[in-house]
Amino acid sequence: MISDKPALLWDIDGTLLETKPVGRTALNIAFEELYHVPGAFDQLDFSGATDHALWIQVSQKYPHLHLSIAHADGFFAHYIGILGKVLAHEPLHPLPSVSTLIPHLSARGWPMALATGNVRAGAFVKLGAAGLAPYFPYGGYSRPHIDRLGLIRQAQQFFPNRILVVIGDTPRDIEAARRSGAVAIGTATGRHPAPVLESHGADVVFERLPDVSGFLNAITDHIRRRAQETIS
């Protein structure tokens, strides 16, 4: 086992939790309530996007509303209340193995954080409803002008001098992990199949998250191989 455990940085939607359009639904309701435009987020690509990136796309889509990034905080505050109501009717469940994997990793002392495109409050509304919030005291969250690499950098500050392992289900997760120098773990549990994640440079791809032994063996084997390649 690696003496200094790497930090595990997790995406949420499609990685920890099942993929359902609850976020899109809540964003649409919030936007319509505030700006009287229905279905504003319907044509946007949510795969690996941050909430603030989606906000920018919508604000550009409706220039007559004169929206800017300065309006984002007020919008997301309204969105959070709606998200809780949507989840009460359409709950998000942990993906297979997650409900056992995450507690076991925590019990074994593996440091964990989030690297998610959700705004922080939205992330914890989703995780809280699924019973996973207590396992993620740290994280990188959507902020203005921050891309997925920035999310990883936010989370990295809590784990100085540790190897980072980023776990996500989209090409954007994998590309950001590679750019940061982290180990990139792909999970084919969202919209993107394993070959797509591999083609974007994932170091390891799971069709679904395995049990704790399978998960840790895959990570530690890859880190050892990487270290040997560096030495040679």
Handedness of CA 119, 121, 123, 125 (dihedral sign): negative
175 and 61 together in one domain? no
123 and 82 together in one domain? no
State the residue for tokens 């939205």: 122
CATH of the domain at 184: 3.40.50.1000
65 and 105 together in one domain? no
150 and 221 together in one domain? yes
**Rounded CA separation 87/126 (Å):** 8
**Rounded CA separation 156/175 (Å):** 16
184 and 199 together in one domain? yes
Q: Which domain holds residue 64?
A: 22-89
112 and 203 together in one domain? yes
* Structure confidence at residue 105 (pLDDT): 97
DSSP assignment of 71-107:
GHHHHHHHHHHHHHHHHHHS---BPTTHHHHHHHHHH
pTM for the structure as a whole? 0.95
43 and 13 together in one domain? no
60 and 117 together in one domain? no
Average pLDDT, integer, range 86-102:
95
Residue 1 lies in a domain: no
Q: 3 pLDDT band (50/70/90 cuts)?
A: very low
214 and 202 together in one domain? yes
Q: Tell me which of 69, 89, 109 is where a domain ends.
A: 89
Residue 164 lies in a domain: yes
213 and 161 together in one domain? yes
Alpha helices (H) in the chain, listed in sequence order: 22-35, 51-61, 72-89, 98-107, 120-129, 148-156, 171-180, 194-199, 212-231
**Do the beta carbons of residue 9 and residue 114 sit within 8 Å?**
yes
Domain count, the chain: 2
**Do the beta carbons of residue 19 and residue 113 sit within 8 Å?**
no
* Structure confidence at residue 1 (pLDDT): 36
164 and 227 together in one domain? yes
Average pLDDT, the chain: 95
* Structure confidence at residue 232 (pLDDT): 58
DSSP state of 109: T
* Structure confidence at residue 78 (pLDDT): 98
* Structure confidence at residue 152 (pLDDT): 97
- Percentage of the chain modeled with pLDDT above 90: 93
* Structure confidence at residue 228 (pLDDT): 79
Residue 59 lies in a domain: yes
* Structure confidence at residue 2 (pLDDT): 38
Q: Tell me which of 67, 89, 111 is where a domain ends.
A: 89
- Each residue's pLDDT tens digit, 145-200: 999 999 999 999 999 999 999 999 999 999 999 999 999 999 999 999 999 999 99
28 and 140 together in one domain? no
